[in-house]
């Protein structure tokens, strides 16, 4: 369902009424303190936080592929056969040689984007929780 301007305005009004922005400001202040204590780059942390808030406002959820990559990285770290582990073997076996090459390249690109996202999240989310 496409959200209309009227619906977006109503959602924004509800966020204001429910103190969404006050909560965001408190969380941002806490994250700034944590970043300073841990010697993290505050500018990077603030950009990550802004992106996270935007994602929350839009109601976007992480996709299954990212969750699979995240789980693999948390359980085993970066592994040399990540692409092989992420390959859908049943689908892969149905492809021609050229399609297999394209599939592997696309999977590699998706993995690298997911890895980059995971590293950003780990730096500002997971690492902070361990302290």
> What pLDDT does residue 131 have?
42
Q: What is the pLDDT of residues 81-105, one digit of tens each?
A: 999 999 999 999 999 999 999 999 9
Is the pTM of the predicted complex or chain greater than 0.75?
Answer: no
Q: What is the pLDDT of residues 36-52, one digit of tens each?
A: 888 888 888 888 888 88
Characterize 91-102 residue by residue with b for buried, 16 or more Cβ atoms within 10 angstroms of its Cβ, and e for exposed: eeeeeeeeeeee
Which sequence spans correspond to the domains of the chain? 1-61, 62-131
CA 98 to CA 72: how far, in whole Å?
28
Question: Is 37 exposed, middle or buried (CB count within 10 Å of its CB: 0-12, 13-18, 19+)?
Answer: exposed
């Amino acid at each position: 369902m496409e959200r209309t301007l009227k619906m977006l305005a109503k959602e924004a009004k509800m966020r204001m009424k429910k103190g969404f922005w006050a909560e965001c400001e408190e969380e941002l202040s806490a994250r700034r303190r944590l970043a300073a204590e841990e010697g993290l780059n505050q500018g990077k942390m603030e950009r990550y936080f802004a992106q996270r808030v935007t994602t929350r406002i839009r109601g976007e959820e992480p996709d299954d592929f990212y969750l699979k990559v995240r789980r693999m990285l948390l359980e085993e770290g970066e592994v040399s056969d990540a692409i092989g582990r992420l390959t859908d073997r049943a689908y892969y076996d149905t492809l021609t040689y050229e399609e297999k090459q394209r599939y592997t390249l696309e999977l590699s690109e998706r993995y690298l984007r997911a890895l980059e996202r995971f590293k950003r999240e780990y730096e500002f989310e997971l690492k902070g929780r361990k302290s």
